Amino acid sequence: MLNKKLKTIASLIDKNDTVLDIGCDHAYLAIYLKQNNLCKDVYASDINSNALKQANKNIKNANLNIIAYLSDGFRNIENEAINTAVISGMGTNTILDILKYAPSHINKFIISSNNNHAYLRKKLYKNKLYIKKEIVILDNNKYYIIMLVTKDYLKENKISLKYGKANNKDYLKFLKTKEKDILAKIPKTKIYTRLKHQKNLKELTKLIEKS
């Protein structure tokens, strides 16, 4: 059964998308998309040969025709039919490195990073990739942020780049609790650092009130 995170990713894919799932692991997303006719076509890729071996086994068991590439991101893939890429289940630095090699014919990205989301948003914006939609989900007591990213310009501000666009009240409260815990551990002599986190608390309080 597909987990909540992968189902949320699938919900952002359209019928006309030709999808590449980078870091496909066991190809569960690709199989789900194909079985339910949720996109025009789907491909899978992974840098790990063992994961790809299991992916191909699962594809075969599902009696589907899905090409799975052994590749570091886009580097070994030459397929101009692909217009949508899913990049999920890895850290921000890895995702940004993968995006450096994204071919021009890919105009839609569905991204879910494991860390450093504010930094990721800023780098995407700087590289002219814009977050059209952002969804926050709680799955197995862990929050996941899923971003729908395109090349269509959208203006951002410091707050949206920092905290995202999801306006998920529970997630914002979770961030506020984290900030309180961090602030409690900062020595009173570290005045600048304390002011920084106090500012974060005020921003989060305002966002929670608005959400």
Q: What is the pLDDT of residues 43-91, one digit of tens each?
A: 999 999 999 999 999 999 999 999 999 999 999 899 999 999 999 999 9
Is the pLDDT confidence value at 148 over 80? yes
Nearest to 6 by CA among 123, 24, 17, 20: 24
Nearest to 208 by CA among 173, 165, 157: 173
Same domain, 181 and 139: no
Contacts of 59 (CB under 8 A, 6+ apart): 27, 30, 31, 44, 66, 68
Position 135 scores a pLDDT of 97
Name the band, by pLDDT with cuts 50, 70 and 90, for residue 204: very high
Same domain, 126 and 28: yes
Position 41 scores a pLDDT of 97
Is the pLDDT confidence value at 1 over 80? no
- Decide: residue 174, CB within 10 A, 0-12 exposed, 13-18 middle, 19+ buried: middle
User: How many Å is the Cα radius of gyration of the chain?
Assistant: 19
User: From the CB of residue 124, how many other CB atoms can be counted at a distance below 10 Å?
Assistant: 22
Is the pLDDT confidence value at 98 over 90? yes
Same domain, 22 and 111: yes
Same domain, 179 and 154: no
Name the band, by pLDDT with cuts 50, 70 and 90, for residue 195: very high
Look at residue 28 and tell me if it is in a domain.
Answer: yes
The H-assigned helical ranges of the chain are 4-11, 28-35, 49-61, 92-99, 117-126, 158-163, 169-185, 191-210
Position 205 scores a pLDDT of 96
d(CA 37, CA 54): 22
Residue range 121-143, pLDDT digits in tens: 999 999 999 999 999 999 989 99
Same domain, 51 and 10: yes
Distances (CA, A) of 195 to 59, 119, 159, 192: 53, 20, 17, 5
Same domain, 59 and 110: yes
Q: Give the number of domains in the chain.
A: 2
DSSP string, 136-168: EEEETTEEEEEEEEESS-----HHHHHH-S---
Do residues 82 and 106 lie in contact, with contact meaning Cβ atoms separated by under 8 Å? yes
Same domain, 58 and 108: yes
Phi, then psi, of 192 in degrees rounded to 5: -60, -45
Q: What is the pTM of this model?
A: 0.93
Same domain, 105 and 183: no
Position 211 scores a pLDDT of 86
- Domain housing 64: 4-158
Look at residue 165 and tell me if it is in a domain.
Answer: no
